[in-house]
Each structure stands twice: as structure tokens, then as C-alpha cells.
Amino acid sequence: MASAPSNTTPSAGAPGAVHHPDTARDLVKILVAGPFGVGKTTLIDSVSEIRPLHTEEHLSEASAEVDDLAGVREKSTTTVAIDFGRISLPGDVVLYLFGTPGQERFRALWDDIAYGALGALVLVDSRRLDASFDVLGLVEESGLPYAVAFNDFPDAPRHHGVERLRQALDLEPGTPMVTCDARDRGSSIDALLALVDHLIGRDPVEAR
């Protein structure tokens, strides 16, 4: 498995930093979930202030029989355990980001990866909405609050209305729904902030 070792540069907040800021008050575990090829690794790469950890393998002929490549034919690698990154937000909040594998065959890892998480950002590809149903089901079964972020692929359809997309995914009215470009740091941070705002805004009893 390919993994990127952490850079040991000690200056927190800068790319490559390892130690979280001394002022950090809230350390929050967040899942970045979504189907195969939706951009989870890309999003974590774009926002992480440390060198991200990846556990990727090249797709093989054997995996092609179980991994649906429809809409992602150009993809050559897949996450087989987790992606990991970290980002410090205003208000002394530090998010630890855990990217989850998107294929059904890695479902056994879900409980372990989700343990201790406070919420999930679910990435969705509007070109293949049906690919998101299994992941959304897992998130809902786990009881995690979540936000949905549509990764804005260049050839994504532009005619879908917000309510039409919400209905297609059968989302609750209060579930945040945003559009982001997983390659863009600012856009990805905005998606994470939508989730954080949702977590903060929940009823304290429900949140516990």
C-alpha cells in the first residue's frame, strides 16, 4: 500500500505541519464519505495542512469485476483503507479528516473508521446519483449527522435543481446540501464549514 510519510516541520498551520496549534480547543473527527471515484482523496489533499496519508492500490483486472467504473473510466487507483488529513478552522477547531473507501467490498471497515466521528461530509457525483445510495445508507444507519457536497465535475449536468437533487437522494429537509470543487482548497473548506455549522446548530440533546 502506498502511504505518504508525515513531514516533520513543526510550524502548525503551514503545509507540512504536524503538531496541531497549541490554542486548539476542539479536536473533531470527521468522515469524508462517498462512492468510488467521487473525489474524497482529492478533497483531503486540497485542504490538509499536513502531508496526507493515503492507502491506495492500483486497480487490477480482478477488481474491475467488482468495482463499477461507469463514469470513472480514467481512474487508475483506489483507496483500500483510509485517507487521513487535518485542517485547523477559525475558533480553535481542528478537524481530523478520515476518507473512507467507497466500494461495498470494504464495508467491514466502516464501523472501525466511523468510531468516534462526530459527522460526515458525503461527496456526491450528480452524473451518477445512484452510486451514492449505499454510502448514504451507511451514514444514516450509523446515526451520524451529515452534509452532502456535490463535487462539481466539468461534465456534470447543470439542469438539476436543488429540490430535485434533494428528492432524488431522499434527504431530510434539514440536511445541508452544497456544491464544491474538491480540487479547490477554498471550495472544499466551505463544504466542511457547512457540515461544522450543521453540527453546531443541532439540538444539544440530539447531538449527545
| pLDDT band with cut points at 50, 70 and 90 for residue 154 | confident
How many other CB atoms are there within 10 angstroms of residue 71's CB atom? 17
How many other CB atoms are there within 10 angstroms of residue 205's CB atom? 6
Contact present, 135 and 106 (Cβ < 8 Å):
no
Q: What is the pLDDT averaged over residues 83-109?
A: 85
Q: What is the pLDDT averaged over residues 143-165?
A: 87
Does residue 38 register a pLDDT over 90?
yes
* Coil, strand or helix at 80: strand
